[in-house]
Structure formats: C-alpha cells, structure tokens
Amino acid sequence: MRITVVQMNPGAEKSANIVQAERLIGQAVREDHPEFLALPEMWTCLGGDRATKFREAEILPPPGTNGAGGEAYEFLRRMARSHRVYLHGGSLAELAGEKLFNTTVVFNPEGQEIARYRKLHLFDIVGPDGTGYRESNTYASGDTIVTCDVGGIRVGLAICYDLRFPELFFALRRAGAELIVLPSAFTLQTGKDHWEVLLRARAIETQCWFAAPATWGRHFERGEARYTFGHSLICDPWGMVVAQASDGVGWASARLDPARTERVRADMPMLAARPVFDRKLL
C-alpha cells in the first residue's frame, strides 16, 4: 500500500483551510498516486479564540449511519470518493455540548466513514519557553482505542500528544495494528527535540509502521503567534524514517510493505515476550 502524509499550514478559518487541503490532496494524488492519504491534527481550525473554535466545529453524524455532516466532514467524504482513496481526516473539532472533542474520522474510497477516534490525552502543559497550553479548557477526552481496516492493513488511530503515552500504542498493537496514524500539531519547541525520536521509539516498541502528518508554520492563538514543527514523516517497524516532509506545506509518500512487518516481528517476537515481563512486574 502506498500512503501519503499531507503537511499543512492551517489557520483559524475553516473555508480557507479546506481550499489548501483540496489543493494538496489533488497534487499528491496526481504525482504520487497513493491509496491512503492522511491530514494533520486540527487542520480545519488551528488557533483563534474559544468562540472561533466552536464556530468552526461540526456536529458529526451518528457513527455507522453515513449521514450528512458539516462542511469539513462532507469535504473529506468527497475527496475520498472522487479520488478513490482511503482518507484519514487528520482531526477536526467535534461539537459536544459545552466542550469539543478532538476527533479523527476515516473514509473508504466509496466515501463511507469506517472509523472515528476521539483524542485520549489532552495537551495541558507548559512549554520550555513558559508558554502554557490548556487543551482541557476547550476539549473533552475520548475513552476508547480504535482500529480499522484499510485495504487489508489494520490501522490504529492516535492524535499528537497521545504519542507520549506508550501504553496506548501497546494496546493498539495488541488490537492487531500494523500501521498507526498520528496526525499532529506539535509545537516548534517540543517538536525539534522530541518529534522524530518519539515516533521512532513508538515504532520500534510496537513493531508498527507510523504515518505522522503534521501542521507546520505560524498560526495565531487569541492574537498570539504560535509555531508548529511540521516534518511529517513515515517510519517502518524497525524505526527507520522512510519518507519525510521538509519545512513548508507539502507531503511525503512511501510504500508500506507487510512483508517487512512480518520479518521484523518474526525475528524479534516482542509481543510474545510481554506477558512474561508484565507478570514479573506484578
């Protein structure tokens, strides 16, 4: 399977972000011919104030109904169907009462939703420069791990800050994941030090492919400039980076080889050894 991770520089205006996403998806399909594409975290509305985030959020149709959704949801459905690809919608803001969910939706080539995941771990931290981030002020956390089938490959879903919690990825591996897709809006400061090393570590630990589409560049949060790191990448189950985007908008593509996964897992059967290790800890 050929997969593409799309790197965007979104702002707070959903309609402008959709124009950018449509252009990049179209170019990537024409030039790289992927079967599976993935967008970054919160590509529909990155930044703005609380009111902006709620205004640009969407009510999603009930899971499994394939009912009508909002502007971004229907855009993703149309892109999947028109290009005949599986499309991982990065994440968007889902309206849910007094708070939002940071939510992933995945579509098959017929434009049907096949998976939905709400971000488990919320980004409540203080960065190295003293900048505070409090995702829980606006968002609620999900409570379910999610996998889905994409062209015969079992795909695990996670979002950005989830990357720092390895237990989630072991659970996805136990659920059969061969590829994990992690859309992100990693800050510039944390990204330059931790982005690649954490992705490669999670890939090595779980013996899964990782596809990590990310936002890049400047956006504004309540009038204050914020910067995200970009460097969207794909790495294999041995932790080797096989494709990576540079600075700026664009994409990176690679071919996922299931035989590579089988060899890595057969030569080093880590999952089989984990129950023994876990019993020793208890």
> Which one has a higher pLDDT value, 189 or 280?
189
- Termini Cα distance of the chain: 40
Whether the per-residue pLDDT at 45 is higher than 90: the answer is: yes
Q: How far is CA 256 from CA 26, 66, 237, 260, 278, in A?
A: 21, 28, 10, 8, 31
What DSSP line would sit under 171-208, residue for residue?
HHHHTT-SEEE--B--BHHHHHHHHHHHHHHHHHHHT-
Q: Could you tell me which residues come within 8 angstroms of residue 38 by beta carbon, excluding any fewer than 6 positions away?
A: 3, 4, 5, 6, 87, 88, 90, 181, 183, 211, 213
Whether the per-residue pLDDT at 160 is higher than 80: the answer is: yes
Is-contact 62 34, C-beta < 8 A?
Answer: no
**pTM, whole model, 2 decimals?**
0.96
Say how far apart CA 88 and CA 72 lie, in whole Å. 12
Average pLDDT over the chain reads 95
Catalytic residues: 41, 119, 160
Say how far apart CA 20 and CA 9 lie, in whole Å. 8
The CA-based dihedral angle spanning residues 32, 256, 91, 13, taken in that order and rounded to the nearest 10 degrees: -20
Strands 233-235 and 209-212: antiparallel
Q: Which domains occur in the chain, in start order?
A: 2-281 (3.60.110.10)
Mean pLDDT computed over 262-277: 86
Of the candidate ranges 86-90, 219-223, 242-246, 277-281, the one whose mean pLDDT is the lowest: 277-281
Mean pLDDT computed over 139-154: 97
Instruction: Provide the 10 A C-beta neighbour count for residue 275.
Output: 9
pLDDT of residue 278: 63
